[in-house]
Structure 1
Amino acid sequence: MGASQSTRKLSVDNENAVQLSPEALNRIQAQLTANQQQEQSTPPPQPPTQYSPPQYAPPPVYYDSQKRQDAAAEEAYWARRIENLKRAHEKINSGMQLEYEKTLKDANKLFDMVQADKIVNKLPPCQEEKAKVLECYSANPNKSLLCSVIVNQFNDCVCKSRIAAVSASS
């Protein structure tokens, strides 16, 4: 029951069979005939004492040149792509730099305006009226009532300045 070997053959129709080019078929046939001739001319092989990896024929020259051409084309494609991306990023960076400089310039203008406004506002109000009151008191040391009109003008100026400051802050 299991002593004799079976000699059945099985054939399968494969619609998705691999198709080879005529060059590949010629190479395979040439290699098969070379192997058959080599087997016929050489004595039967002795069992190897050490494992030796199988020897393969190098690919044909046109295969290597095609691979080199494909690699060179791919390298050129990616080099162009990288250069295009670099140029695009340089445009974006230059635009951002211009916007940054414009914004910085505008901010500095605003800052300078605020600083100038602070300097103007740092001076106490009614300096002219104050100078007139001091001059009047110096000219009339014992007659301060003669300066009452000038003092009232100074007082009115101070009140107006306070009102303006309160209305400006709200």
Structure 2
Amino acid sequence: MGAAHSTEPRSVSMDNPNPGVIDISDEVVQRLKKGINKQAKESAATEAAPTPPVKDVRPIPVKPATPPPAVVPPTVVYQAPATQTVYVATSGTTITAADMVRQKEAELTQNDAMWRQRLDELEQTLKKTNTIMEKEYSSALEDVRQRFATASPVHQLPPCQDLKAQVIACYRANPGQTLKCSEEVAAFRECINLNRIKKLDAEDAKPIAKAA
């Protein structure tokens, strides 16, 4: 009878003299070395790769949006018409303030004209008085010259020369304003009158002296 081959696997067990150590084949050792070397190269390549520089990005300030200007509504001002003051006269007629102003201005103008006319009349009167006084003075002066023709030079001067000089100086200092010289004119006139009285008294005394 031929021997029959059995298909069941067979296992061989051997006693391990070192229980804490696992024995592996050389082929497994080579595979482990290759895997470790490959892993080390990949790790070194990863570490050696340059890190791209990080740019300094500054924030750009953004201006806040400006709100549109507020629309101001137009201001409407209502002005009341000017009131006109009305005055009621005693006669019952109404007079406005403008009429009163015009009336006052007319009165002032009329008053100024009246005083201007009075001053003109007074100035004319003074001029006439001065003319008369000049004539009287000339007449008195001529009389004195004839009377004292043979007298000494000291007594030949006409009277009231100082007062006459004051009147002339006042007229020159105030042209057209003869009222300001009224005091000087009065003093000069009084001086002329006194000299005339003295002259008349002297003439009246001559016949008496001759009769005596």
TM-score under structure 2 normalisation?
0.26
User: If you compute each CA radius of gyration, which structure gives the higher value, 1 or 2?
Assistant: 2
The structure with the greater share of residues assigned to helix is: 1
Higher relative contact order (CA 8 A, sep 6+): 1
